[in-house]
Amino acid sequence: MKRTAAWLVRHALEQIGVRYTFGIPGVHNIELYDELAASETIQPLLVSHEGGAAFMADAVSRVSDTIGVLAVVPAAGLTHAMSGIGEAFLDGIPMLVISGGVRNDMEQGFQLHDVDQQALMRPLTKAVYRIESYDEVVPTVYSAYLKAIEGEPGPVYIELPANLQLLTGEVSAVPDFEFQCPRPPVDPELIAAAAELLSGAEKPGIFVGWGARFVTEDIRRIAEHLGAPVATTLQGLEVFPADHPLHTGMGFGPASVPAAQNAFRDCDAMLAVGTRFAEICTGSYGAVPPEKLVHIDINPGALGRNHPTAVPVHADSRDAVPALAELLLKSTVAKDSSVLQSSIAKDKAAYLEEWLGHDSGERVNPGRFFQVLRNRLDRDAVIVADDGNHTFLAAELMPITKGGRYLSPTDFNCMGYCVPGTIGAKLVQPDRQVVGIVGDGAFLMTGLETVTAVKNSLGIAWFIFNDGELSQIAQAQELPYQRKTCTTVGALDYEMLAAATGCEFVSMDNNDVIEAAIDRAIGLMDAGRPVIVDVRIDYSRKTQFTNGAVKTNLKRFDTRNKLRIVGRALWRKFSSRGK
């Protein structure tokens, strides 16, 4: 039979259950878009910028059982999308990246968009493919999909020359998709060793990341049986419900909230699941696990990489954690954790009261904002944060309860994620509330994707924390430098922007209007309207994460450089007083 490669790609994407593609059509993928338009199961979505497309695809993979797919033009379209592809790569999010490619049937050089796309994509993806013939198309898409989801997930790149898309060619067969994605076997001796180590500890602790999201119930069983506090990574905030009495918060070291610091202070053994002990989740590596560490991860390269591991278990958490839970509950006696639970509850309440008692002047108190937002939203709402100071405010003050979802750029740490991320999440979770928490600087990067939300009638509320600064970096500059450089952002009239893009607008200027503003925003969102909320946030109080990470980094310096930095800060501080 004769088919175009565009038809073959569409067939393969339908076979693996793709529901949306994101991108912008161009001369090198125009035939693919024509085929996607004919699909009964796939909706191609036009975006404002390919960077937004990648974040949307990322969010689709995070909150659904389908994979996010990019359909972009070569060269510029691909480089625009690289930030979102890189985020997915470092965060372990599956994605298919399909771009057009220059023709492979021409002798002439200097074709339009003629760059080495394989070289561009190799460092940011698990694998790269370039299709050279019609018979390769369907098997390549199937192989790329399996590669994206196996082991530690990640993006995979496929380059499809324009001539193969446009012209028909002979195909010997069009195979249906057969799912085969084996998981590594669980070593029962390692599970037994893990159970013995944890059951023999006096004060065990549990640290879970994104890789543990499918085993929340088993983590709960283990925590309650061991009487162990549970901390999460930033990306894993949804993995363990914040309203469980053993939940302590994000992290467990100096950059964590008091409930976590106190609960983990004398921890003598730890179960870590689905975390790489990376820089963000450890507060710049300030959180150090005990020597008696059981580490379960699908990525063997994460085991023992940052910390010696007593019991390293290379396995999928869906296999290893239930096996560990069954063995612990069957072979050991449950411990009483009532005192620990009471201590955690008191620490959490005291920390919130500190925020509520902070004088925010004429601006919005973050503690009060998140308290009201949590009370007004459904328990299973999807919360999408961007990268910035607001990220850690949300991590410390916005509890993610059972059934709720939390999305945020983490290890690639890419600003601009929130607005397109909410769009991707809402597309695949239309019956859930989806809200974005985004700083004004991050909003400037991808805020025009609000047009995409309006065009597709997506009810989303974006709470823009508006303080006129790139506040996370401004705060990092303030202590060591005693001055700020290039962190003041340009002013934007959000009400005018909302009118220009077709969004609704709500203003939140101070604490007196928090309840009314959030109620109005949620009402509009639930009615299917995209809403921009201008939150005049107060950033005068630093998060525990910021305070802890700064101190951890300062301690890391040698004495000479520590004195140099502190001395410079003191000199600038006192010399500025006379001006």
Residue 182 falls within a domain, yes or no?
A: no
Residue 175 falls within a domain, yes or no?
A: no
Here the CATH number for the domain that contains residue 465 is 3.40.50.970
pLDDT of residue 488: 79
Cα distance between residue 240 and residue 209, in whole Å:
9
* Nearest CA among 2, 9, 73, 74 for reference residue 38: 9
pLDDT of residue 41: 98
* Nearest CA among 401, 355, 454, 3 for reference residue 239: 401
Per-residue pLDDT reduced to its tens digit, 451-508? 999 999 999 999 999 997 777 777 777 767 777 788 778 889 999 999 999 999 999 9
Residue 540 falls within a domain, yes or no?
A: no
Here the CATH number for the domain that contains residue 311 is 3.40.50.1220
pLDDT of residue 413: 86
Same domain, 261 and 126: no
Residue 180 falls within a domain, yes or no?
A: no
Cα distance between residue 84 and residue 54, in whole Å:
5
Same domain, 490 and 521: yes
Same domain, 163 and 196: no
Cα distance between residue 534 and residue 530, in whole Å:
13
Same domain, 435 and 319: no
Same domain, 278 and 325: yes
Domain that holds residue 81: 2-170
Number of domains in the chain: 4
Same domain, 377 and 487: yes
User: Strands 2-4 and 168-170, how do they pair?
Assistant: antiparallel
pLDDT of residue 579: 55
Residue 439 falls within a domain, yes or no?
A: yes
Residue 100 falls within a domain, yes or no?
A: yes
Same domain, 138 and 234: no
Q: Which DSSP string do the residues of 92-152 spell out, in sequence order?
A: T--EEEEEEE--SS------TT-S-HHHHHGGGSSEEEE--SGGGHHHHHHHHHHHHHSSS
Per-residue pLDDT reduced to its tens digit, 396-406? 999 999 999 99
Same domain, 519 and 389: yes
Residue 348 falls within a domain, yes or no?
A: no
Cα distance between residue 311 and residue 303, in whole Å:
9
Q: What is the pTM of this model?
A: 0.95
pLDDT of residue 106: 66
pLDDT of residue 327: 97
H helix intervals, 358-439: 366-376, 389-397, 418-428
pLDDT of residue 104: 74
Same domain, 531 and 565: no
Tens-digit pLDDT profile for the chain (579 aa)?
Answer: 899 999 999 999 999 999 999 999 998 899 999 999 999 999 999 999 999 999 999 999 999 999 999 999 999 999 999 999 999 999 999 999 999 987 777 676 677 678 899 999 999 999 999 999 999 999 999 999 999 999 999 999 999 998 898 888 999 889 999 988 889 999 999 999 999 999 999 999 999 999 999 999 999 999 999 999 999 999 999 999 999 999 999 999 999 999 999 999 999 999 999 999 999 999 999 999 999 999 999 999 999 999 999 999 999 999 999 999 999 999 999 999 999 999 999 999 999 999 999 999 999 999 999 999 999 999 999 999 999 999 999 999 999 999 999 999 999 989 999 999 999 999 999 999 999 999 999 999 999 999 999 999 999 999 999 997 777 777 777 767 777 788 778 889 999 999 999 999 999 999 999 999 999 999 999 999 999 999 999 999 999 999 999 889 888 888 888 778 778 877 777 776 655
Same domain, 205 and 292: yes
- Residue partners of 421: CB distance under 8 A and separation at least 6: 55, 56, 58, 59, 384, 386, 407, 436
Same domain, 367 and 338: no
Same domain, 479 and 406: yes
pLDDT of residue 556: 85
